[in-house]
Amino acid sequence: MVLMIVSGRSGSGKSVALRALEDMGFYCVDNLPVVLLPDLARTLADREISAAVSIDVRNMPESPEIFEQAMSNLPDAFSPQLLFLDADRNTLIRRYSDTRRLHPLSSKNLSLESAIDKESDLLEPLRSRADLIVDTSEMSVHELAEMLRTRLLGKRERELTMVFESFGFKHGIPIDADYVFDVRFLPNPHWDPKLRPMTGLDKPVAAFLDRHTEGFDAEVLLRNDEGTEAEANSVIALLMLDSAKGRQIEVEATGPQEEEALAAVIALFNSGFDED
């Protein structure tokens, strides 16, 4: 398991990095006192969960020896890694100007420029022992998250997590829906007396729908605003084109066996939509 320690100057992207790590399955804690790191690691060791903790000037130990002692007291199951984020001085000043937030050291009667320089001196012991130093001056929020995903997981692709929910239009569309698929335009097998007792889990119903949806596939290439492309005849590729953690997809099903129909949709998703 990994204990990722995220540090860096304020405004360099620590909060963004922590959110990205949380999306990757890390247990994240913001500004945990350094002396509590071994306790956190021991708590998570039995659960086999990697952790990420941010450290800045507000919870910096008074001496490097305190940090080293905390590292030496970590359980053997954890491998500590130190990620240090930084950005050039002008970029940090601009980011503070854009967000209109106070620098953590501004309360010490320092100007923003002086606070940034002072913070750099205080964080130098952590920077000097960092396993990875990332300059975020020219990075967007999404680029930083993608870089961390590539470095830590060895892949750029995001995992697609979806929640399927059935609903009736007469009750209104769920307000948390990102996508709504209305399939009422399809022929209804309910009106076939032989198929009426069956559900979408039965092969004759699936074959019925297959016969009536032939020719729906199209060789169409879609591209989002980030330049990512996907073929429109690939269900998974289309969903990945705009995937995000916790993406909600609503599937409308009506009739006395709507739960069975929803189960069939979920089974189809779990099988990868029968795509290779």
**Cα 275 from chain centroid (whole Å):** 24
The whole-number average pLDDT for the span 84-98 is 92
- Give the model's confidence band at 250: pLDDT under 50 very low, under 70 low, under 90 confident, else very high: low
| Residue 186 · residue 209 · CB < 8 Å | yes
User: Residue 62 above 50 pLDDT?
Assistant: yes
- Give the model's confidence band at 36: pLDDT under 50 very low, under 70 low, under 90 confident, else very high: very high
**Distance of alpha carbon 237 from alpha carbon 250, whole angstroms:** 18
Domain ranges of the chain: 2-153, 162-270
**Distance of alpha carbon 27 from alpha carbon 18, whole angstroms:** 9
What was the pLDDT predicted at 236? 52
User: Residue 49 above 50 pLDDT?
Assistant: yes
Closest CA to 197 of 256, 149, 243: 256
HSE, CB side, 13 Å, CA atoms: give it for residue 148: 32
Q: Which CATH code of 3.40.1010.10, 3.40.50.300, 3.90.1150.10, 3.40.109.10 fits the domain covering 2-153?
A: 3.40.50.300
Q: Convert the pLDDT of each residue in 184-225 to its tens digit.
A: 767 788 889 999 998 777 899 888 877 865 544 444 444 444
Instruction: Write the CB contacts of 49 (distance below 8 Å, at least 6 apart in sequence).
Output: 1, 25, 26, 27
User: Residue 242 above 80 pLDDT?
Assistant: no
pTM: 0.61
Q: Convert the pLDDT of each residue in 228-238 to its tens digit.
A: 544 444 555 54
Q: Convert the pLDDT of each residue in 107-143 to its tens digit.
A: 777 888 999 999 999 999 899 999 999 999 999 988 9
Instruction: Write the CB contacts of 246 (distance below 8 Å, at least 6 apart in sequence).
Output: 161, 163
Count of CB atoms within 10 A of residue 57's CB? 18
For 74-137, give the DSSP string: S-TT-EEEEEEEE--HHHHHHHHHHHTPPPTTGGGS--HHHHHHHHHHHHHHHHHT-SEEEE-T
